Structure formats: C-alpha cells, structure tokens
Amino acid sequence: MSRIWHRMAGLALLTLAAAVVLGGCGRKTPDERHAGEPPISVVGVEVKSALTSADVEVPGTVKPVRQAHIAPKIMSKVVRVTVNEGDRVTRGQLLVKLDDSDLRARVSQASAGVDASRAGRAQAETALQMQRVASGAEVEQARAALQMAEANLAKVRQGPRPEQRDQAVQGLAQAQAALSAAQAQLDLVREGARAQQRVQATQSVTQAEQAVEVANQQVIAAEAASRTAEADYNRMKTLADQDVVPGQRLDHATLQFEAARAQFAQARAGHAQAQAGLEQARQQLSMVEEGARTQEVQQAEQGVAQATAAVEQARLQLQMADSGGRHEDVTAAQAQVTQATEALRTAEAAQARNQLREADVATASAGIGQASAGLQAAQVMLGYANITAPFSGIVTARNIDPGSMATPGMPMLTIEDDSSYRLEATIPEGRLAHLHVGTVVDVALDALGAGWPAEIVEITPAADVASHTFIAKAELPQDGQVRSGLFGRMVFSTGERESIRVPNTAIWSEGSLTGLFVIAEGKAELRMVQLGASRDGATEVNSGLEDGETIAADAAGLTDGARVSVSGGDAQ
C-alpha cells in the first residue's frame, strides 16, 4: 500500500506540473492547436514492468593510493628547495637541502672520538702484551734461580764427586794454559812487529789499492751504461706517447734503465767499500811500522792479570773439591733456596697485573663501541639534512622556501603517487552488506565525463560514529586525466526489484521537468514522469507511467496532443 500511495502522490504532482506547463501555451486545447495537421509517424513502445537491478549511487572523491606529507626530522634553516608544485619526482631524488654545518662538525668530532678510542685500545693492548712478557720472564727467571739454588744446595749437601774433582783439575790446567798464552802475547807486544808482519801489511795495502782501481773502473762503466739506458728510455717514452711504438717496447726500456741504475748504485757501493778497505790496510801498515802502542801493552798486561786471577780461582775450586761441603756452605745454600722460593711466589703474584691490563683493553674496546655508535648517530643526523622523495610521483603542495626555518613535524611538501588512484565513497551502514572486497561497481567522474567498472579493494573496518558510514575504496584504471580531489560517483546493486524502463530517446525534458509522450487514440499525450537510474541506454521510471501503456520511442519533434500514426516497437 505504501508503494502505491507514493506512486499516486507522484502522479498527482506530475499532473499538476503538466497543467502548469500546458496552461502557459494559451487557451486553445491540443486538439484545436493540431487541427488539420497530418499525423506524425512514430514508433510505439509498449512498456512493461520487469525485474531490474536495484542500484544505489553514492558520492565519492578521487584520492591517490600513496600520498606523503614530507616533514623534516630536525630543526634547521632551508638552504635549497629543488622542486615546485606540479613537478614530477623519482624515488630518492633530493627535494630539500637543510643547513648541515653543525651536523658536519658533530660528525667530525665523533670521528675524532673513534680514532682516539682506537688509539687508546692499541695502547692498552701494547701495555697488556708488555705486561705479559715481563711477568712471564720474571716467573721464568725466578723458577730458574730456584732450580739453581736447589741444585747448589743438593751439591753442597752431597759433597764433591770424583767427576767434580776431575773438572776442577781440568779447569786449573786450562787456566794455567790461558796464563801462558797471555804472557806470550805480552812478550810479543813488548818485542814489537816482525819483518813478516810488515811484508803482509804492505801486500794488503797493494791489494786494497788494486781493488779500489777495479771498483773505480766498474763505476765508470756502470755510469756510462746508465746514461745509455736513460737515453733509450727517454726516446722510447717519447715514441710511445706518440703511439709510434707499442707499450711493450717502453716497458722493456724502463726495465733496462732501472737495471742500469741499480748496477751503477751497486758499483758505487763497491767502490766505497774498496776505499774503506784501502784505508783500513793503510792504518794497519801504519801500526806495524810504528810498533806497539802504550794502550796495546796495557791491554796485554791486563790479560796476564786476568789469566793469573783465573788460575787462583781454579786452585780454590780444586781445594773445595778436595775438602768437601762445609756447614756454613750448606746454610748459605739453604738461604739461597728460601730466597729463590719467595722470589718465585712474588713473580707469580705479580701476574695478577695481567688481569688489570686485560680490563683496560676491555674498557678501551667498549669505548670504541660507544664512540662508533656516536659517529653512526651523527651520520644519521647528517643524513636528515638531505630530504629525498620516498617514492616516485608528483608534487601537489609546496609550503616552504629557502631561508625559512624547517620544524620537525611541519609538512614542507606533499607528494602523491599519480600512477594509481582510488575512488573513496561514503557508504551508509545499511548498504554495507551489499559490498565486500572484490565487488565490481560502476564509477563515474563527472569532470571527465567518463566511467568505468572498478573493483572494491578496501573497506574501512570501523564506521564513523557521527554519520554511521563506512569508507569503500575502488581501484581506478590508469588514466592520465585522473587527478586527486575529483568528484565521483559509485553505483552498486543491492538486489532486484520490479520497475519500468524506457529508452533515453523517448524522454522529453525542459528545464527540470521530464516527461514521456503516451500514445492514446492516435494522439501523443505529454505526461510528466519521475525518472530514476539510467543504464545501458535506458532510464528507470519511478512514477507517472503505468504498466502496459504505449509511448513514443523518440520524443524528437513531438508536442502535446500531436496526431500520430504508430508503428510497432519492442516492449521495455
């Protein structure tokens, strides 16, 4: 009943509107106005109600899939802005350059801190190594001293062995022989040089002079060879620079030149060595001719004195071997063992200092890690001075200029990815049951006069509390004319219902009024109607037309009351 009441109310309104329109045409009736006119041939269409899709149309706005409001992470002065609104940018492109003088200074300071920490660790490692070597050496020396003291104590307690007395006898004999040799050397020095020594010294000088002459000739020959090789090298280098000869020729000449220079240096070194030998031979000859000097005699006398003391020491050793270990010797040896034992304990306890050095190395290593982290943080902060594009797209807004102060969180630029757009439409919660991700809907952009089927790719999971609506997003096809912010419409089906649809060509319109020409008794009667959704060349009639009536398929050239001759047409 409600549906029928709404249709009757719509008919009443449309009839009133038609009366107003037709009343303005004058007082003549349609029959009077068209009297005597020949009938107009029209195609008649009998309308029939049928099941059709119940469509819902909701408004929406075109928005990019990706949009970024570029804001700085640090507060600094803007040095340069490289883009303007409408410019296309690529991912990683520099957009804004901020003043980074302070940040660079921090990086330099942090880098110096890292170098200082590494130097500190190297110093600590060196100190640790030195401490380990020193403590190890002290322990080894203390152990060796203890072993010697213990061996000496054992020897003193045991008394002399036969082999020890034999060793003492041999030691005395060797000391006496050394004394005889020292006395003979003293006598020889006092006596002076002999004739054969002078002859040998003279021959040595002659041989040294000959060696100097040979070395001199070698130097001359090597110098000449070096000059020749240098000239060949210079010539080959010039020809190689002019691409006259291949590079292998120049490489060969270079090797020859370097070898010649090495031979020349070697010859000069040999000459210097021969010269030194000659000087030494001359000094030896001079010493032979001058005779023994006072210091040589003194050295020989000291040698005799040392040999005499060694003989006395050997005699004492032999006496001790014959007499055996005494009580005071055992007591002294025991004291040495005790002292060596304490020294070993002290050396082993000193090894604990190694742990302190190891702790110093660990502390220095931790300092390097801390300094490196500071350097990394400074480098990251320095990177914030160069603001780049997060993705490729187009600049849609620029809110800053060079000289301005950039503030963290305040957008400077807006970039959107213009390769992909979506139509975001507001869906009443009562219609949400008819949409889900993957549903294909019809979208239209009035500004472009274009429409496409599109797929729902996202639906917001929560409704707006105030309006009880959801946001549905439909993927738009790639089109160079699509821009963000355009108004659009989204149409989707909520089921089926009975309705009457008529061809779009049959619709008459004037201003905001729409109507159809109903064929009755050979005349075209203009009837005001209320239209609904239009699709596929036909429009739905919500009220003003009844099922089974015949209308003119084309309203062009018809007026209210015109006489017509009807030919058949398909029902809608």
Residue 85, in any domain of the structure: yes
**Residues 505 and 547 placed together within one structural domain of the fold:** yes
Q: Are residues 261 and 393 in the same domain?
A: no
What's the confidence (pLDDT) of residue 328? 66
Same-domain pairing of 26 and 89: no
| Residues 6 or more apart in contact with residue 131 via CB below 8 angstroms | 353, 354, 357
Q: What is the pLDDT of residue 24?
A: 45
In a domain, 199, yes or no: yes
Tokens 């409704």 belong to 463
Q: Which residues of the chain have pLDDT under 50?
A: 1-26, 571-572
Residue 380 belongs to some domain of the structure: no
11 and 79 part of one domain: no
Bridge partners (DSSP) listed for residue 445:
450, 488
The whole-number pLDDT of residue 192 equals 60
Token pair of 461, please?
A: 């999971």
Letter string b/e over residues 249-273, b meaning 16 or more CB atoms within 10 A of that residue's CB: ebeebbebbeebeebbeebeebbee
**pLDDT at residue 2 in the model:** 34
Residue 376, in any domain of the structure: no
Instruction: Check residue 463 and give its pLDDT.
Output: 76
Tell me how far apart the alpha carbons of residues 176 and 197 are, in angstroms, rounded to a whole number: 28
Contact by Cβ (8 Å): 411, 70:
yes
Residues 81, 355: Cα–Cα separation, whole Å: 58
Specify whether 173 is located in the same domain as 313.
yes
For all residues of the chain together, what is the average pLDDT? 81
**Residue 311 shares a structural domain with residue 166:** yes
Assess if residue 466 is contained within a domain: no
Same domain, 50 and 39: yes
- Domain hosting residue 401, numbered range: 67-99+385-415
DSSP E strands in 22-169: the ranges are 40-46, 50-64, 67-70, 76-81, 88-89, 94-98
Confidence (pLDDT) at 164: 64
What CATH number does the domain containing 79 carry? 2.40.50.100
Task: Summarize pLDDT for 5-38 with one digit per residue, the tens.
Answer: 344 444 444 444 444 444 444 456 666 666 667 8
Both 253 and 308 in one domain: the answer is: no
Q: Give the three-class secondary structure for 107.
A: helix
CATH number at residue 25: 2.40.420.20
Bridge-based pairing of strands 40-46 and 562-567 is parallel
* 144 and 124 inside one domain: yes
CA atoms of 170 and 359, how far apart (whole Å): 56
In this structure, the answer to whether residues 320 and 346 fall within a common structural domain is: no
Instruction: Report the alpha-carbon angle 271-277-280, nearest 5.
Output: 145
- Read off the tokens for 464: 């707006």
Report the distance separating Cα 217 and Cα 223, nearest Å.
Answer: 10
The number of distinct structural domains making up the chain is 5
- Could you give the angle at the alpha carbon of 458 between the alpha carbons of 452 and 464, nearest 5°? 110
297 and 283 part of one domain = no
What pTM did the predictor assign? 0.45
* CA–CA distance, 441 with 438 (Å, rounded to integer): 9
- Sheet strands side by side (includes 386-388): 386-388, 94-98, 76-81, 405-406
Closest C-alpha among 549, 506, 547 to residue 7: 547
The verdict on residue 59 lying in a domain is yes
Residues 231, 279 within the same domain: yes
Write down the pLDDT at residue 390: 93
Q: Does residue 308 fall inside a structural domain?
A: yes
Alpha-carbon gap, residue 570 to 547, rounded angstroms: 14
pLDDT in tens, 203-252: 888 888 888 898 899 889 889 988 998 898 898 888 888 887 777 778 77
Query: Could you give phi then psi for residue 565, rounded to 5 degrees?
Result: -115, 125
Which amino acid is it at 525? Answer: E
According to the model, what pLDDT value does residue 399 have? Answer: 92
Is 461 inside any structural domain? Answer: no
